[in-house]
Each structure stands twice: as C-alpha cells, then as structure tokens.
Amino acid sequence: MADKIRIGVIFGGRSGEHEVSLLSARSVLSVLDPAAYEITQIGITNEGIWLTGPSALEAFEKKQYDSLSPAILLPEPQNAMLYRIRKSPAGDILEPLTHLDVVFPVLHGTFGEDGTVQGLLELADVAYVGGGVLASSVGMDKVVFKEVIRANNLPVVASLVFTRRQIETSMLDVVAQIEASLPYPVFVKPVNSGSSVGISKCAGHSDLVEGLMDAAQYDRRIMVEAAVKNAREIEVSLLGNEHPKASVLGEVLPSDEFYTYNAKYIDNKSELVIPARVEPELARRIQKTAEKAFSLIDCAGMARVDFLLERGTDTFYVSEINTIPGFTEISMYAKLWDASGLPYAGLVKQLIDLALERKSDRDHTKYRREA
C-alpha cells in the first residue's frame, strides 16, 4: 500500500471565529479517510498557543486542554516537522512528532485566514489547503480587495476609508466627508472583519457616529459603504487553482435586517436557498465574475465570493471574498458544491489534492540564480 499522506488539521485560533472553526474542523475530520491519511490534530487556543493530541478537537470543544501537548512548527524547510514541547528541569525540549505533507488550516478570520499562518507554512515549506499569503491577506482586507476588483472593471459599491485615529480625533470631519458623498443608509465595517462583527447599518447622523466608534474598536481602518437597497445576497463557491470552477449560486435570506452575527450563528432562522432563483444568463455572469475575482487575487484551492444583487434588476456588485469560508458540511460553501454534484468528502479530498498540486508547482520555482 502506498504511504499515507500525513495531514495536519489546524483549528481554533485567536479570532472571534474560534468556535466556528471548531465546527468546521469537526466536519473535515469526520470525512478524512484514515486509510488514506495519517491525521494530526492541532488546536490553537484563543491566546494563540498551539496544542496537539489525538483528540485535540474534542478537548477544544470541551475547553479542557490539560491532556494536550504544546506543539510548534519551525519556520525552517529543513525541519518541516511538528514538534512537541516537553517541559523538563533543564528547560523546554523539542521532540519531533511527525512530518506533515499537507496542512489544512481550518481557521477563519484574523491570524488564520489572513495570510499569517500561510506565511509560516510557506517558510516551513509545507503544502497547505487554500490561498497563499497574498490571496489570503488581500481577501481579508475589504478595501484592498475592492480596489483590485474595481481596477479590473468589475462592479463594486462606492466606499470611503478612514483610520481609527481620524475617527478618534476628527469625528465631525469624517462624518461630513461621508455625508457629502454617500446617501444614507450606509454600512460601516472594520476593514479586516468577518462574521459581521463590528458592522452596522446606519440610517442617519447619530447612528453613523455610533457605528464608526464601534467599528474602530475592531480595526485600525474603517470602511464606509453605500447600502445596496433591496439587496439579495448571492454567494458562489469556487474550487481549483489556476482554473477555478464556480458552483451553482446560493442565496441567503437573513433573519435580521441584514446578515448580522445574530442572523448567522445565533437565532437559526436565516435560510439558504440552493440553487438561488436567478435567471440562467445572469447566474452565468455572476459565476464568471466570481471566477475572475478568485484569479485576480491569485487565490488557490477554495473561496466563496459573495455578491449583492439589486432585487428585480440585473445589477450586481462583488461584495467580498472569503478564502476560508465556513466549512461545515451544512455551510453554504459545501452545500453549493453538493448541489453542483460534489459531495463533502470528495470536496475535502479535492482540496488536499489541489494543495499538493500547488506545492509541486511551487517546487519548480528557483529562488536564486544558480551559479
């Protein structure tokens, strides 16, 4: 029998989406075939500590970390191993635990989906699922992502960006600038956000002041965006490397006035419509736009591109890209593939294959001129 592929599944993390990540990882682990993969579970605590153990996910779910060992991945290609850190009277000892052929970072949001973990994996020269450093960081940054999309003549909603310092020191000036160029209502968002944390829809002056102050807690840069009136929320899953394929479209029917944290995770009343009821010609245009957005940021493996579609018209806008979208079996990303004929277990396997393919592509790159 061929050697098993050694896969590290990383979950948890320091972001507000720690718990969502545990749910995603539970689904991924449930379909990884133990006959094909040697699986190492690696959890990252809210404080950023890496812990490993055969039942690390279960321990994280119970928030009982005592049975787990601290672990570390060194940023050195020669030592692309996961090490266990053992305490000894003489100091910490690194014990080689396992090589990793591929890592699946099942992490959402900051310090996981934003290129930081991807940077470590690049330095360690390990294959990993999903976009690289550039795609991850651009995908996470709502302003830079929009600039890339806009520069390529794809539709995005008008927006402005301010720093936290501007908001703290010149609130009236900031509000005046917004009111001079965008009609109410507007959306205020931390630039690097997810799960709608720190996002508000502001209908007037006092709302706006409150929204800006709230968002400024979550990021150093704040984006203010014109609201698309009567917006339908359309999402497309992408899979592939250089030639990404788009899934069928899905639509979110949020249970709140917009798709808030509460509507996403708490009240359980939002609905997903799959496939979305969109005319085939328009659906095709949206899929093509999603594929372009994916390639423009040099994304790899997977992503979900979200759109705002003006109800009753053909006018749509690229809203955002999620390079590690919610990844449970019942998340939009996976459901769209299931409806497109690719069930969850096959999806996970394809992502691992794509990660290995991308790594072997990168292995052909020379990093310096040969003498």
Please work out, in degrees rounded to the nearest 5, the angle formed at the alpha carbon of residue 173 by the alpha carbons of 170 and 175: 105
Q: How far apart are CA 113 and CA 101, in angstroms?
A: 20
* Side chain identity at residue 339, one-letter code: A
- In this structure, the number of other CB atoms found within 10 A of the CB of residue 126 comes to 22
Residue number with CB closer to ligand ADP (105 or 109):
109
Q: How far apart are CA 311 and CA 228, in angstroms?
A: 10
Cα dihedral value 244, 4, 122, 31, nearest 10: 50
Asked if 307 and 233 count as a contact pair (C-beta separation under 8 A), the reply is: yes
Among residues 7, 129, 303, 308, the one that binds ligand ADP under rule CB under 6 A: 308
194 binds ligand ADP (CB under 6 A): yes
Residue number with CB closer to ligand ADP (65 or 265):
265
Phi, psi of 239 (to 5 degrees): -145, 130
Contacts with ligand ADP by CB under 6 A: the residue count is: 20
Binders in 221-280 for ligand ADP, by CB under 6 A: 225, 227-228, 231, 233, 254, 258-259
Among residues 113, 219, 291, 320, the one that binds ligand ADP under rule CB under 6 A: 320
Among residues 27, 192, 196, 287, the one that binds ligand ADP under rule CB under 6 A: 196
> If DSSP codes are grouped into helix, strand and coil, which group holds residue 109?
coil
What binding mask, one character per residue, do residues 79-118 give for ligand ADP by CB under 6 A, x or -?
----------------------------------------
Q: How far is CA 141 from the centre of its chain?
A: 11
**Window contacting ligand ADP (CB under 6 A); options: 23-31, 38-46, 121-129, 195-203:** 195-203
293 binds ligand ADP (CB under 6 A): no
Q: To the nearest whole angstrom, how small is the minimum distance from the Cβ of residue 355 to ligand ADP?
A: 24
Helix (H) or strand (E) holding 131: none
Cα dihedral value 88, 94, 95, 97, nearest 10: 130
Assign 3-state DSSP to the chain and report helix, strand, coil percentages, each to 5. Answer: 35, 30, 35
191 binds ligand ADP (CB under 6 A): no
Q: To the nearest whole angstrom, how small is the minimum distance from the Cβ of residue 309 to ligand ADP?
A: 10
Both structure tokens of 264: 């996403």
> If DSSP codes are grouped into helix, strand and coil, which group holds residue 253?
strand
Residue owning tokens 């899979």: 239
Binders in 135-164 for ligand ADP, by CB under 6 A: 157
Among residues 136, 193, 247, 270, the one that binds ligand ADP under rule CB under 6 A: 193
Binders in 171-190 for ligand ADP, by CB under 6 A: 187, 189
Residue number with CB closer to ligand ADP (204 or 346):
204
Which stretches of the chain bind ligand ADP, using CB under 6 A?
157, 187, 189, 193-196, 199, 225, 227-228, 231, 233, 254, 258-259, 306, 308, 319-320
